[in-house]
Structure 1
Amino acid sequence: MEPYSNENRSSSPAQQGSGYDAVASIETNVACGFTMVAVGDLIVTRPLTKYQGEDFAAVVKILQNADAAFGNMETNIFDIRSFKGSPQAEYGGAYHVSLPELGPDLKAMGFNILARANNHAFDWGLEGMCETSHALDQNGIVHAGAGKNLAQAGAPRFLETPRGRVALVSFASSFTPLSRAADPAGEAPGRAGVNPLRLAKTTVVLPKMLESLRRIRNALPGFKPSREDPNRVVLSGVTYKSGEIASYSYEADKRDLANILRNVRQGKQFADFCIVTNHGHQPGNWYQEPPDYEQSLAHRLIDTGADAYVGHGPHQLRGIEIYKGRPIFYSLGNFIIDDLRTPVGADMFAAYGKDPRIDTDAEVTADEMTTGYETDPGFSDPVFYESIVAVSRFEQNRLAELRLYPIELDRSKRLANRGVPRRAPAPQARGILERLQKLSKPFGTQIAIVDDVGVIIVRANSPQ
C-alpha cells in the first residue's frame, strides 16, 4: 500500500498560499491507488464470517482490500434480553434487529464506513439508535446519518486511511415521519433521528385525467373555490399535475437541501475524499430508474464537493453514471438480506394477520419477504437477490476504473440460509451485468464485460 503523505496530495498555487481556494477545496485529493468499495443494503441479523464458506469469503476479500469499504446499515444492533426500548408504532416496514456480535463481524468483513440514515434507523426508537451507535463505535466503524439532533445526524464523519481522509455524509429521502431529526429552537430541545431530505411528491396524469380529478374535487363537500393553477389539482392531500405521461415527480425541500449541501462542503473541506449517500425508495421498490429529482441532485452534490454519490433503498440495481470523473450509483441493491429477525413486534403480526400466540416470527418474516405490504412487493422477485460489489480506483486524483463484481444471494435456499452474498456464476453474472448495461445506457455509461466482471475505464478528458 502506498503511504499517504503531503507528497501524494495535488496542490494548486492557491492551496500552497495562505488563502482559501473554493475550487481546489472540491478536488479529489487522495494518494494514487485509493480504492472505495461500495455495496447496497446490509439487512443482516447475525454474525456471518465464522459460519459461511469460501463463496462468502471471496466476496469479503474484496471489501477487506479497500481503503474505504462502504455499505448502508439497515438494522439495529442490541441484545433484546437487556434492551430498555420498545418497537415503535412507526417503523420502516419491518423491525430490523441484530445480535451484538454483528458489530465485530462487520469489522471482520472489512466494513469501515457505514450510512445510518434510512427508514429502519428508528424501528426501535432512540434506544435502538443509541445502542447501534455504541456497537459501531466500539468496533471502530465510522457511521453517519443518525444522531441526537439534526446537527449530529447531518454532520460529516471521518475515516482515516493511509491514502487519505474520507468524509461521509448520509441522508435519507425515505424515512418514517417521527424519525426526522431536528435542532433545538428557543427553549425547545432538539429531536433525535435521521438526516432528512423531504420530498414533495406530485402525481403526473394526462390532461383529461386531471379534469376528471378536478370535477371529483369540486363535487366533494367542504370544497371552497379559489384561484388556482389550471394545471394542478389537490385531492385528498395528493397533488396532481398535467403531463404527457403518467408518472411521479419530486421536489426537494430547500431547507433540507441547503443543510445537506453545507455538510457536504464542510466534509470535503476537512477531508480528501467525500462520500455522499442517499437512502430513497422513490417511486417504489418495483421501479428500475431513479426518480426525476435524483440526477440533478447527484450532480449538484458532486459540484459541491462529493467524490462519489451512492444511492440505496429500492433493493435492486439502478444505473451508473460518471459525472465530472466521479461515480454515481443510483442504487446498489442488496448486499446481505440475511433477515432472520426476531422479535418482529406486535404491529407486524397485526399487519400480516398473524397471531403471536400461534404464529412464529419466522412466519411473519416469510410473509413480509414474499408478499410485501401495501404497495411494497416484498422480496419475491429474483431481481432483489442479484447485485454488484463496486470497486472504484483512483489514480492521479481522478477516477481511473470501476470494476463491478456480480453477486447473488442464494434465493433458492431456505429462509435460514438465504441472503448471504457469493460471486454469481458465469451465466448469471453476465445476465446481471447486461441488465446493468441497459440501466446505465441512458447516462452514457459504457460497461465492458471482461471475465464476468463489469469494467468501466474512465480516461482523462473522456466524455464520461
Structure 2
Amino acid sequence: MERDLDENPIQQGGSYDTTGSIAMNVSDGFTMVAVGDLIVSRALTKGRHPSFGDIVQILRDADVTFGNMETLIFDIRSFKGSPQAEYGGAYHVSLPEIGPDLKAMGFNIVGRANNHSCDWGLEGMRETSRVLDENGIIHAGVGENLAQAGAARFLETARGRVALLSFTTSFTPMSRACDPAGEAPGRPGLNALRLAKSIVVPPEMLESLRRVRDALPDSKPGRADPNIVVLAGTKYRAGDNVGYNYQADTGDVADILRNVRRGKQFSDFCIVTNHCHQPGNWSQEIADYEQSFAYSLIDAGADAYVGHGPHQLRGIEIYKGRPIFYSLGNFFYDDLRTPVGADMFEVYGKNPQVDTDAEVTVDEEAKGYPTAEGFVGALAAPVYYESVVTVSRFEQNQLAELRLYPIELGYSKRFADRGVPCLAPATQAKAILERLQKLSKPFGTEIVIENDIGVIRLQPNSPR
C-alpha cells in the first residue's frame, strides 16, 4: 500500500521527505566520513607515518566519522579469555592503546558486527566494548542478546543526532546473538543477517546433478522440487547464468528493518552498515540480494548504507538522495597481530615452536581465508591495499556532494610498515578512481575526477 505523506508524523514516528523515506533532520553542512575495515593492531598517531596526518585531518573535520571495527582490543597479559575454535579466518587482536588513538584520529562511531567479532570469545567482545566506551566511541552490532546487538546506538553532534545499526552476513555460527525464549536465556553475540546460499546452473547441468543425486543410496528423488537439487549439502537451482543466489532470512530482515525504523525515529540521521563478503573476497560485484535490501533499509529510514567485508572496493550508488557504498575495502590493513591462536598455526601448516606469528599472517594473506572447501581469496594483491575515504556533505537534508579521496596502504612496504593509509600519488589515485567509476557505472553513478579526487554532485531534491 502506498504511504500517505500527509499522515501524522507523530503517529508514524517521523516525517517523510518527497521520496517517501523518513526525512533526515540535520543542519546544513552536515558531513559524514565513512571508511571500510579498521584492521589495526597498534597506535598510529604517534608513530612514524608522516603522510598519515593528511588523512587524519579529513577524519577530524567531519561531524560523524565511521569505520568497521574488525578487531578485538585487549591486553593479553591480563586477558581471561582464549582464542576460539571458530574464528573469522584470522585471530584479530589489538593493543588497548588503539582506543584513545582511534578517538584522536577522529573516529566517533564504529560498527562491530563482522566475522571477527568473537575471535577471542565473549571475553574479547566485552573487553573491546569496554575500551570503546571508555574512549567515548559509539559502537553497535554486538550485545548480551539479539535485542542489544541489533539496537541502534546514538552519537550526539552539533548538527544532529546520529544513529548507527550494524549487522553482518559473514559470521561464525556460534557468534550469532539470540533473544530469551521462555526460561532459556538470551545468547550474547552479534547481529546477523542469515543468507541461504544456492548455486544457479543451466537446466541441462541441473539434470546431470539430479542424476548424480538419484544414484546415491540415501537420495529421496520423489520428494524433490523439480527446479532444485540438493547434493552433498549444497543446493543447486535452475537459471540462465551460472552464479550464486542468496535468500535472506525473513525473520532477520524484519528485525533489522524494524530496528532501522526505530533508530531513525530517535535520531536526525541514520547509518546502517553491513559486513558482507558474499559472493567472495575475489569479487568486485555485489551479491544478488544486496541492492534490493539496501533500498529497503533506506525506505525504512537509513540515510547511508555502508558496506565492507571483501577487503576491496565495490560500486557506489545514490538512492533517494542517500549514498550506498557497497564496499569501502580496507582503511587500515595493519596485520601486525600477535599473539595468534594455535588453530591458525595448524591451518597453515606452521609450528608455534618454530614459526612466528608474522610468518603465519604472511601465509594467510598469500592463500586467503580457510573454508571447508579450502582457501578462498588471496589477500596479498595490490587491490586489497587501495581504497577511498568518502566525505558526504548534506544540504537541505539531501546529499549535495560526495568526495572520494583515494588512499594506498603501502603494499610494497616491509611487513612492519604496511597497512597504514596515505593519500595515493597522482597516477595511482587516477587508477583507483577509474576503477571505482567503472564499478559504479552500472548503478547510474557518475564520478568526476578533479585534482586526483573523485566527486559526485547532486542537485537539491534529486531522485538519485
Q: Among 118, 123, 138, which residue is 2:134 paired with?
A: 138
For residues 32-60 of structure 1, what are the alpha-carbon distances to aligned partners after superposition, in whole Å with 9 as ceiling and x for unaligned? 00000000000000000000333101011
State the distance in 1 between where 2:364 and 2:285 align: 24
2:47 is the alignment partner of 1:23: no
What is the aligned partner in structure 2 of residue 90 from structure 1?
Answer: 86
Q: Which of these residues, 343, 349, 354, is aligned with residue 347 of structure 1?
A: 343
Amino acid at match of 1:351: V
Deviation string 1:286-321 (CA, Å, 9 cap, x unpaired) is 000110000000000000000000000000000000
The answer for the alignment partner of 1:309 in structure 2 is: 305
CA deviation after TM superposition for structure 1 residue 251, in Å: 0.7
Q: Residues of 2 paired with 1:12 and 1:361: CA distance?
A: 61
* Paired amino acid for 1:45: S
**Normalised TM-score (structure 1):** 0.95
Question: For residue 455 of structure 2, what is the amino acid of its counterpart?
Answer: V
Aligned pairs (5 A) from 1:439-458? 439-458=439-458
User: CA–CA distance in 2 between the matches of 1:120 and 1:20?
Assistant: 35
Q: Does 1:324 align with 2:320?
A: yes
Which of 253, 269, 272 is the matching residue for 2:268? 272
Larger deviation: 69-78 or 369-378? Answer: 369-378
Match of 1:435 in 2: 435
Deviates more, 1:262-271 or 1:453-462: 453-462
Q: Displacement, 1:272? A: 0.1
- Give 1:377 deviation, angstroms: 2.1
Does the CA-based 8 Å contact 2:167-2:273 persist in structure 1? yes
Alpha-carbon RMSD across the aligned residues, in angstroms, is: 1.5
Matched, 1:163 2:159: yes
Letter in 2 for 1:312: H
Q: Distance in 1 between matches of 2:14 and 2:261?
A: 13
1:193 aligns with 2:189: yes
Could you tell me which amino acid in structure 2 is paired with residue 98 of structure 1?
S
Q: What is the alpha-carbon distance in structure 1 between the residues aligned to residue 441 and residue 54 of structure 2? A: 29
1:49-198 counterparts in 2 under 5 A? 49-198=45-194
Tell me the equivalent position of 1:362: 358
Q: Aligned with 2:282: secondary structure? A: coil
Map 1:379-458; keep pairs closer than 5 Å: 379-458=379-458
Q: 1:262 to 1:118 in 2, by over 3 A?
A: same
SS of aligned partner of 1:292: coil
Runs (4 or more) in structure 1 with deviation over 4 Å come to 11-15, 17-22
Which deviates the most, 19-28 or 440-449? 19-28
Quote the Cα distance in structure 2 between the aligned partners of 1:387 and 1:449.
15
Q: Distance in 1 between matches of 2:440 and 2:204?
A: 34
Give the CA deviation at 1:208.
1.5
* Unaligned ranges ≥5, structure 1: 1-10
Post-superposition shift, 1:463?
4.8
Map 1:245-264 onto structure 2 (within 5 A).
245-264=241-260
1:322-381: CA deviation from partner (whole Å, max 9, x where unpaired) = 000000000000000111011110000000000011111111011011222334223221
Letter in 1 for 2:154: F
Q: How far apart in 2 are the matches of 1:125 and 1:326?
A: 36
**Are the counterparts in 1 of residues 367 and 375 from structure 2 also a CA contact under 8 Å?**
no
The CA deviation at 1:75 is: 0.2
Per-residue displacement from partner, 1:246-294 (whole Å, max 9, x unpaired)? 1001010000010000110000000000000000100100000110000
So what's the TM-score if we normalise by structure 2?
0.95
**Shift of residue 154, structure 1, vs aligned partner:** 0.3
Q: Structure 1's 300 and 20: CA in aligned 2 closer, same or farther, altered over 3 A?
A: closer
What 5-or-longer segments of structure 2 have no aligned partner? none
